[in-house]
Amino acid sequence: MWLAHDHRTRLRGGRAPGAHGPEGTWSEPGPGRPTLRILVTVESLERAGKALALATRLAGPTASLRILHVRMWDRVPRGGGRFFFESSLEATATVDAALRWVWRAGVAASGVVVEAPRARIAEAVVDEANRWSADTVVLTLCPRRHAGLGFGVWDRVSRQVMRRTTLPVVAVHPGPD
């Protein structure tokens, strides 16, 4: 497993108006199970706005979204603890804001925060997609500029997610509309 301690936080019951089942999840096929399950990664609401908009358009009235935020950490060199780049409250607030945005659009959604070492963020995304039985993954590309090259190179996490999963991945550029 990619993580010694798998900490998962569910937000406000994860239910949207019209959602079926406990915490807005569907575990059994049949009536009421959405035809499409879309996992959307959210680093921040500002960066993921276009990805959320696209996912809600793809979702339609019978689909379900899962908002995923990975709370990353690094190992502390001396002492062996973990250094998190954001608090648990900040991570939860990010997912909560994304859920409110999606629910306003009338789409059933649930949210989760998972913790992962910085080097294994892509693995955490793919694991959650598999655990939730997602049909597709929507993520926001993060352009990186290399000094002197004058062009952007897409970040390592996006490329790793695309390589590690057999699911369709929709990569959204964060630039202006």
Q: Which domains does the chain have, with CATH numbers?
A: 8-19+35-172 (3.40.50.620)
For residue range 151-163, list pLDDT tens digits in order: 444 478 888 899 9
Q: What is the DSSP letter of 27?
A: -
Q: What is the DSSP letter of 69?
A: E
Query: The tokens of 6 are what?
Result: 């798998």
Q: What is the pLDDT of residue 11?
A: 34
For residue range 85-108, list pLDDT tens digits in order: 889 999 999 999 999 999 999 999
Query: The tokens of 39 are what?
Result: 């996992």
Rounded to whole angstroms, how far apart are CA atoms 54 and 1?
Answer: 31
Q: Which range, of 41-50, 64-73, 129-138, averages the lowest pLDDT?
A: 41-50
User: What average pLDDT does the segment 106-128 reach?
Assistant: 93
Identify the three-state secondary structure at position 53: helix
User: Strands 82-84 and 136-140, how do they pair?
Assistant: unpaired
Q: What is the pLDDT of residue 91?
A: 93
Highest mean pLDDT, choosing among 7-11, 80-84, 133-137: 133-137
Q: What is the pLDDT of residue 143?
A: 63
Confidence of residue 173 (pLDDT cuts 50, 70, 90): confident
For residue range 13-68, list pLDDT tens digits in order: 333 333 333 344 434 444 555 478 999 999 888 888 899 999 999 887 778 999 99
